[in-house]
Chain A
Amino acid sequence: MKILLAPLDPVHDAGLKLIKRKLEALGYQCVLLPPDITVEEIGEAAVREKVDMIFVGRTVGYNVEQLFRRVRHVLTAQGIFGKVRVAIGGMAVTDELAKNLGFEAGYGPHTTIEEIHALIERNPELAQHITHPVKHKPQFPFPHDNTVKDSTTQKYLDQIVDGILDWTSNKTSPGVVRARITESQLQEVKGSVESYTALPFTRDYLAQCDEAVVDFFQKNICPPSVRQITQKEADAYNRRIDIARKNFHPRALQHGRKKPLVFVQYGTGCPMMDGMHIKVAESWGADGVLHFDPAWGARTEGLLDGFLANVEDGTPVTYANLSLIKHSLDAATLWTVRAHRGLNTPEIAVLAGFLGADMTKINIGYGSICGGTDPARLAVDGTEAIRIAARYHMPFDIPTNEELAGVPPHKAFAGMLVMAQLGRRLNARPILKPLLCHGPYIMVHELMEQNYVDYNFAKIRALQTLADFPIWPGEPIGFMTHTEEKEQSATTTSLHVALCATLGLDAVTTASTDEAFSHGPITSAGRVGSLRSIEEAFRFFGQTEIAPSAKANDWTEELIVGINRTLKAVAEAPSFVEALYQGILGNKEDGVYPGRAGRNSVVAARTSTRAAAFKAPLDAVPKVSALGK
């Protein structure tokens, strides 16, 4: 097939030059006319060259409709229009405009060569992957050795992990008991949301709960900021999700890179608002999402149940809420449910596992000294949660947001590596989640006065030197570098993403442009702004890399020494739990202290009166409806 490419601009024929090169690569014979030609000369060239098809391009937007009317008029007068196929393109051209004027098709500035190829061959399937893209869920985490490389680090970690397993081996807690009751009930109903929410709650479960949870189930009293979602709302919501799904065209942000995958965190308070934010994030290229629960949920013994909305930050973890969110997800979207920091850690891991979550989140150290949970309690519950994660084949990530409270990175990273090694010992798949932030320790020690590159580079290089686990910075990246000004916020997020791409990292958790805005809920538009900026950063840097200064090497060495020094101190402590109480992984001087929630709730596995209730005969308590009336 022979194609004539005709520019109707005085000089702007770059688009047609590009099309010519690509069509010739596909095997077509192309004739590109020079700029500064008349419409009549296009027709004359078509006859002279005996072409099968003409593409007329007009880059400049003004007067475009009148100009193309004249093109059709002249080509018709020359006896060409109707015999030779004619399509038009340009900045102001749409397919609708072209067809209204009688042309075969019209193309705007974002048209791909695949779409032009499909038109030429009259075969829409040639552009199917462009016009109807399909995104597949990646196998995540990406392959790593999952081993500690540094022998000194390995030695300390093994000592510490031996101690944790020994210390927790004969202990249990209300959280562990509830997790087993919940798992048993979910097995009984084979994971069915309807059947599970219809089950009566047992006194065994309520015996392990705080009064607020007991009141919820027995007296239908919701916590102050929580309300039940009605059936009518849920039905209307599901219809909105169906519409979103029907019109969904997935995007890939990475511009040819395989990683880092881009995650966004949600937890507006309401699973329906979360679901809509998730649909927005998926549509603008997010590869995965993370569920965040409210702070009070982490400090209350027991989980609520049913479809619940919270008017404050954090969406209540219930089996029904999680199932509603799961239903909202695209098949390609990776889903993480945070379990790590509170009194319901093992039970949330069970819910996540039953619903097929891709990952969960567990960190004993962070939850103990920053999350408000007693170290002994979280050592028991966190270890159990890792076992649950392994049983449900859920990798778990280990956030180190201790840095936000002032803990130096070497201490936070030491705790993270302990969790990773504990995870490996329990046959789970840990993911390191360092925080790339301008945190208090970094500010006070002026480690980022010159740039945000060198110290972040050193942090990641230190981890990569010591061990080979997947690394997924969060939560979110660039923490405390954002301002309320949206362009600044989107820019700092996207540059941190670019840095993570240079470092070869597996994934990133990213903020919306509302990250620094604290006077109200974040918005869906803020998610779009940030994801568009990230897409542009990937486009800008491509496969190139950001280079740190020599200072990064010095800091890498300092961090490695600091991590091993901390691990040595933990290994020499009477136990890991005692190390947390003593502040070896972060103390009051740093800005953190052991949590109190759940203190004195750890008991010997066989003598607990509360735990013994688990074995008592079932005594059913009517449960409130999953949906409000």
Chain B
Amino acid sequence: MTTARDTIVDALDIESFVLCESEKDAKELVGKLMQSLGLSRFVIVSLDFNGPGAHFRVRAYMNKPGENYTWLKE
């Protein structure tokens, strides 16, 4: 193991609420957020827009099945 990130079995989920005016805005904001965090391999798991903004959960994959897992690094 070299970093804390390497110990994640499969994926890192981030859940929060963004203030925005549409679902489309929310998706763009979530994408920008993940890029800013250096988590480019992401997918939005759920996103629910209403009223002031959107409740979302976005997933950044660290290890997908069949890959060379970071948690098996010596």
**How many Å lie between the Cα of A514 and that of B45 in the bound state?**
9
Which of B9, B66, B69 is close to A269, meaning CB atoms less than 8 Å apart?
A: B66
Which of A311, A486, A517 is close to B64, meaning CB atoms less than 8 Å apart?
A: A311
Given that A310-B66, A311-B65, A484-B46 are known contacts, is A523 also in contact with B72, CB under 8 Å in the complex? Answer: no
A314 (CB) vs chain B CBs: closest residue: B65
Fill in one digit per residue for B53-74: 1 if any A CB lies within 8 Å of its CB, else 0.
0000101010111111101111
Taking CB atoms, residues of chain A closer than 8 Å to B10 are 273, 521, 523-525
Which of A233, A237, A520, A524 is close to B9, meaning CB atoms less than 8 Å apart?
A: A524
Taking CB atoms, residues of chain A closer than 8 Å to B74 are 236
Taking CB atoms, residues of chain A closer than 8 Å to B66 are 225, 227, 269-270, 273, 309-312
B64 (CB) vs chain A CBs: closest residue: A521
Taking CB atoms, residues of chain B closer than 8 Å to A312 are 66
Given that A311-B65, A484-B46, A485-B48 are known contacts, is A525 also in contact with B11, CB under 8 Å in the complex? Answer: yes
Q: Are B72 and A237 in contact (CB under 8 A)?
A: yes
- Residue B43 interfacial (CB < 8 Å): yes
Q: Are B46 and A486 in contact (CB under 8 A)?
A: yes
Fill in one digit per residue for A477-498: 1 if any B CB lies within 8 Å of its CB, else 0.
0000001111000000000000
Which of A272, A310, A486 is close to B72, meaning CB atoms less than 8 Å apart?
A: A272
- Residue A519 interfacial (CB < 8 Å): yes
10 smallest CB-CB distances across A and B, nearest first, come from: A311-B66, A268-B65, A269-B65, A236-B72, A484-B46, A309-B66, A270-B65, A273-B65, A524-B9, A485-B46
- B: contact size bracket: 20 to 34
**How many Å lie between the Cα of A517 and that of B46 in the bound state?**
8
Taking CB atoms, residues of chain A closer than 8 Å to B69 are 233, 272-273
Q: Are B59 and A523 in contact (CB under 8 A)?
A: yes
Interface residues on chain A, number (Cβ under 8 Å): 30
Taking CB atoms, residues of chain B closer than 8 Å to A165 are none
Q: Are A519 and B43 in contact (CB under 8 A)?
A: yes
Q: How far is the CB of A525 from chain B (nearest CB, A)?
A: 6
**How many Å lie between the Cα of A225 and that of B71 in the bound state?**
22
Taking CB atoms, residues of chain B closer than 8 Å to A573 are none
- Residue A19 interfacial (CB < 8 Å): no
Give the B-binding residues of A (Cβ under 8 A). 225, 227, 233, 236-237, 240, 268-270, 272-273, 276-277, 280, 309-312, 483-486, 514, 517, 519-521, 523-525
Q: Are B59 and A520 in contact (CB under 8 A)?
A: yes
Taking CB atoms, residues of chain B closer than 8 Å to A311 are 64-67
Taking CB atoms, residues of chain B closer than 8 Å to A272 are 69, 72
- Residue B21 interfacial (CB < 8 Å): no
**How many Å lie between the Cα of A523 and that of B59 in the bound state?**
10
Given that A240-B71, A484-B46 are known contacts, is A525 also in contact with B65, CB under 8 Å in the complex? Answer: no
Q: Are B45 and A525 in contact (CB under 8 A)?
A: no
- Residue B13 interfacial (CB < 8 Å): yes
Q: Are A521 and B48 in contact (CB under 8 A)?
A: no
Q: How far is the CB of B30 from chain A (nearest CB, A)?
A: 14
* Contact sample, A vs B, 11 pairs, CB 8 Å cutoff: A236-B74, A272-B69, A272-B72, A273-B9, A273-B10, A273-B63, A273-B66, A311-B64, A520-B61, A521-B61, A521-B65
**How many Å lie between the Cα of A277 and that of B71 in the bound state?**
13
**How many Å lie between the Cα of A486 and that of B47 in the bound state?**
11
New A-B pairs, 19, CB < 8 Å, besides A311-B67, A523-B13:
A236-B72, A272-B72, A273-B9, A273-B10, A309-B66, A483-B46, A484-B46, A514-B45, A519-B45, A520-B11, A520-B43, A520-B59, A520-B64, A521-B10, A521-B61, A521-B64, A521-B65, A523-B11, A524-B10
**How many Å lie between the Cα of A517 and that of B45 in the bound state?**
7
Q: How far is the CB of A311 from chain B (nearest CB, A)?
A: 4
**How many Å lie between the Cα of A486 and that of B48 in the bound state?**
12
Q: Which of B64, B65, B69, B74 has the most CB of A within 10 A?
A: B65
**How many Å lie between the Cα of A237 and that of B71 in the bound state?**
9
Q: Are B68 and A233 in contact (CB under 8 A)?
A: yes
Q: How far is the CB of A235 from chain B (nearest CB, A)?
A: 9
Q: How far is the CB of A264 from chain B (nearest CB, A)?
A: 15
Q: Are B65 and A233 in contact (CB under 8 A)?
A: no
Taking CB atoms, residues of chain B closer than 8 Å to A514 are 45
**How many Å lie between the Cα of A523 and that of B42 in the bound state?**
13
Taking CB atoms, residues of chain A closer than 8 Å to B13 are 523, 525
Taking CB atoms, residues of chain B closer than 8 Å to A227 are 66
**How many Å lie between the Cα of A394 and that of B61 in the bound state?**
37
